[in-house]
Amino acid sequence: MVSPGALDQFYALFEAWGIPWIVPRLSIMLGVVSIIIGFISVAAMFLIWWERKISAHIQARFGPMRVGGWHGWAQSIADGIKLLLKEDIIPKNADRPIFILAPMVVFASALAAYVVIPFGPGLIVQDLNIGILYIIAISSLAVVGIIMAGWSSNNKYAALGALRSAAQAVSYEVPLVISLLGPILLVGSLSMTKIVEAQQYLWFIVVQPLAFLTYFTCAVAETNRLPFDIPEAESELVAGFHVEYSGMRFAIFFLAEYANMFVVCAIATTVFLGGWQGPFLPGWVWFLIKTFFLLFVMIWLRWTLTRVRVDQLMHVAWKVLLPLAFLNLGVTGLATLFL
């Protein structure tokens, strides 16, 4: 975002005034974090409203139409305020510290992933040289939070939902990572910026269509959305791991879910759809257009497909997606070796 030299000058300025070195660094970190949180909140609230509108139009309804005037654009804001003002209920028999900590863990993992997403040329918080590895590692942390939530609620349905969720996330992570390896082999770098720059002339979706398909399927499953929303199947499990949560804690889970959706689609955009690259418009606009197109596809799938069964879910992960991902990896590896 800012060149390192400018940052050093900024720090030197503070040192000249005799302010301890930690203050400018902390204030910059806080600033960046609040920008990310602000972006996540706005994006998630927009997504929630958008999903409600799309689902409504798919189902021959209107969706929210009142709050805020134009097509109910302020509905999510009103919902957020309502959830904030609600009573904070913690079940009597719940494991209090873990119950309180769980939504934070889930949200923190979603939050941390945004650090390495390249929104545009230079528009990246920290261009880590292990960017994509970092994202994969950090987003796996959410499973810990989900198990914490399910276990500490002291509720059968929540525990069952959490275990299903964990089983699903762990199973789908394997083909997800392996399908990402194909493009990484082509680029030869784990840095998100490098991956985008490598696609200047040809998007990787053209070279790696199979990887894109397996990645996207896994991404839908990772975010627990239909047709893979078994952890929260309301006709079987009522609501899954967050059944005992209400008010702001529930809102944080909700926010994290949509933040995660954005992350997986942003990764898909970065790795397969050329990231910020595109003609005429500024880079970040292109990035958002592509990401929101993928998000639309996810929403579209959710409102037209049927839920799969647990055994079918595992079958798809281990017997279909994983071999396909390996096939893709093998072919890509051979191609990079001999071509």
What residue ranges bind other proteins (CB under 8 A)? 55, 58-61, 226-227, 229-230, 233-236, 238, 303-312
Nearest approach in angstroms of CB 112 to other proteins is 31
In contact, 210 and 218? CB cutoff 8 Å: no
How crowded is residue 113: how many other Cβ atoms within 10 Å of its Cβ?
26
How crowded is residue 69: how many other Cβ atoms within 10 Å of its Cβ?
9
**Count of helices and strands (H, E) across the chain:** 14, 0
Nearest approach in angstroms of CB 310 to other proteins is 6
Nearest approach in angstroms of CB 313 to other proteins is 10
In contact, 303 and 183? CB cutoff 8 Å: no
Go through the chain and tell me how many residues it has: 339
Nearest approach in angstroms of CB 156 to other proteins is 9
- When the beta carbons of 80 and 227 are compared against other proteins, the nearer one is 227
Measured distance between the N- and C-terminal CA atoms of the chain, rounded to whole angstroms: 36
- When the beta carbons of 249 and 302 are compared against other proteins, the nearer one is 302
C-alpha 11/C-alpha 136 separation (Å) is 32
Nearest approach in angstroms of CB 315 to other proteins is 10
- When the beta carbons of 54 and 67 are compared against other proteins, the nearer one is 54
Nearest approach in angstroms of CB 75 to other proteins is 19
Q: Tokens 């279909």 correspond to what residue? A: 320
- When the beta carbons of 81 and 310 are compared against other proteins, the nearer one is 310
- When the beta carbons of 54 and 137 are compared against other proteins, the nearer one is 54
How crowded is residue 282: how many other Cβ atoms within 10 Å of its Cβ?
12
C-alpha 151/C-alpha 179 separation (Å) is 32
SS3 labels along 288-339: HHHHHHHHHHHHHHHCCCCCCCHHHHHHHHHHHHHHHHHHHHHHHHHHHHHC
- When the beta carbons of 3 and 306 are compared against other proteins, the nearer one is 306
DSSP-assigned beta bridge partners for residue 123: 120
In contact, 245 and 210? CB cutoff 8 Å: no
Nearest approach in angstroms of CB 227 to other proteins is 6
- When the beta carbons of 45 and 313 are compared against other proteins, the nearer one is 313
